[in-house]
Amino acid sequence: QVQLVASGGGLVQAGGSLRLSCAASERAFSSYAMGWFRQAPAKDREFVAAIAWNGGNENYADSVKGRFTISRDNAKNTVYLQMNSLKPDDTAVYYCATSPRTATILRGTVSKWGQGTQVTVSS
């Protein structure tokens, strides 16, 4: 069973940048859509971004459009989330996820979750 390991979280000041990574344990990763979600304290988990197996069909939550970029390197079995112009409202635990199709990620129907990585943005 595929394992997803997220990394790259940390503490950053507002306006700063971070890049999250999510490494998959299997080559089958390259056939699946990938996504990022986040969960802030006392809030529900929410969709952030998704990308198709071939690196196309990028989708973003309105709250991160123009600031975050999702990408993937199938040769490294890794998906990335570049986060720029970070705001305190971006503070959350970020989770990567995989599913056969982007459409299912957008619906929140995920085949596998990774462990979270904490992102804290100070004002």
Q: How far apart are CA 91 and CA 16, in angstroms?
A: 12
Q: What is the mean pLDDT of residues 7-32?
A: 93
The model's pLDDT over 45-89, given as tens digits with 9 standing for 90+, comes to: 999 999 999 998 999 999 999 999 999 999 999 999 999 999 999
Q: How far apart are CA 92 and CA 85, in angstroms?
A: 15
> Who contacts 120 (Cβ-Cβ below 8 Å, separation ≥6)?
9, 10, 11, 12, 91
What is the phi/psi pair of residue 60, to 5°? -135, 150
> Who contacts 57 (Cβ-Cβ below 8 Å, separation ≥6)?
33, 50, 51, 102
